Amino acid sequence: MYTNNQDNSTHTIIENIVRYNLLEWANQFYQSKKIEGVSGFTLTFYKQQLGYFLKYCESQLITSLEEITPNVIRQFLLWHQETGHNPGGLHATFRTLRVFLMWYESEAEPEGWKNPIRKVKAPKVSNEPLSPVDPEDVIALLITCKANSFLDYRDKALIMFLLDTGARAREVLGVNIQDTNPVSGEILIHHGKGGKSRTVFIGKASRKSMRAYLKYRLDDHPALWITEEGERLEYGGLRGILCRRARQADIKTPCLHSFRRAFAINMLRAGVDVFSLQKLMGHADLQVLRRYLAQTTDDIAQAHRIGSPVDNNKL
């Protein structure tokens, strides 16, 4: 027969299991973020990145938040790195884990629990500018779109749209026909990063290509970019388009994000000020924009020729 002390002890054990259960709190974290209104992409990102940590914890027989120490997090980051994740991916996982643990600290207010993430430094990420897609590669991709079929019209318009808007791939895929103005070139991005909306634009050639593609559309699907089966184009499908066109063009498949980088550096070279460029790209600050501006020595030399104080003042 259990005594009161045994009952209290059992109750305490159950309470601690519920209190610190890692998977249970992870699920509550996802639900909380969904209620907060984070985008579907962000929620998927959280699940993927936090999933790496949960998988590691499972391999180490760690089942409760109480067992997570600063050293566990450091060992996880080393394991994550050794399994092939680059510095950017490592930092993305760390950021998600930090959001999760800070959320738990605020949500549960656990007595006597010290947040281990506070003692772990974020992995370093290189601030070196990243390479844009080569203009010659873009031309090679477009040449494969011979305007003989629905796919040719769509792919040509899509490649030009990626480069001309500078929008993130998932932003491009989320655009609906009603969000576009094929005459003026205005494109409304409803749910950018952080859930923010903004307006981007496409030029004359891109507008012409998009109108040709839309004339080929006989469906009533609201999405701007659709598959041959009439469904909204997804990220994997977009990636597949580039892979297929790159094979046809006999070039290395460009990274989707490299179109965004090319947009940034080409706009800068054309004389667009960085503040307007920041708004077009949907960046919260100029520090983020800096990584997109892979300026060459020629770019810097041209800037000096334009702004040389000695030459301009005829000294």
Q: 166-190 pLDDT, tens per residue?
A: 999 999 999 999 999 988 999 999 8
Report yes or no on 308 lying in a domain.
no
How confident is the model at residue 174, as a pLDDT?
92
Lowest mean pLDDT among 22-26, 219-223, 297-301: 297-301
Q: How many helices (H) and strands (E) does the chain have?
A: 15, 2
| 187, 80: one domain | no
Report yes or no on 229 lying in a domain.
yes
| 139, 70: one domain | no
More confident residue, 191 or 103: 103
Residue 174 sits in which domain range? 135-296
Among residues 50, 85, 119, the one where a domain terminates is: 119
How confident is the model at residue 175, as a pLDDT?
95
Q: How far apart are CA 103 and CA 60, in angstroms?
A: 23
| 145, 240: one domain | yes
- Whether 260 has a pLDDT exceeding 80, the answer reads yes
| 87, 185: one domain | no
Q: How far apart are CA 302 and CA 84, in angstroms?
A: 40
Question: What are the start-end ranges of the E strands in the chain?
Answer: 186-189, 198-201
Span 120-153, pLDDT tens digits:
998 887 666 668 899 999 999 999 998 789 999 9
| 99, 172: one domain | no
- Whether 18 has a pLDDT exceeding 50, the answer reads no
How confident is the model at residue 129, as a pLDDT?
60
- Whether 227 has a pLDDT exceeding 60, the answer reads yes
Report yes or no on 312 lying in a domain.
no
- Structural domains in the chain (count): 2
| 81, 157: one domain | no
Work out the average pLDDT over 36-61.
Answer: 90
| 262, 206: one domain | yes
List the CATH number of the domain containing 34: 1.10.150.130
More confident residue, 201 or 85: 201
Report yes or no on 98 lying in a domain.
yes
How confident is the model at residue 14, as a pLDDT?
38
Report yes or no on 304 lying in a domain.
no
For the beta carbon of residue 228, count every other beta carbon within 10 angstroms. 11
How confident is the model at residue 15, as a pLDDT?
44
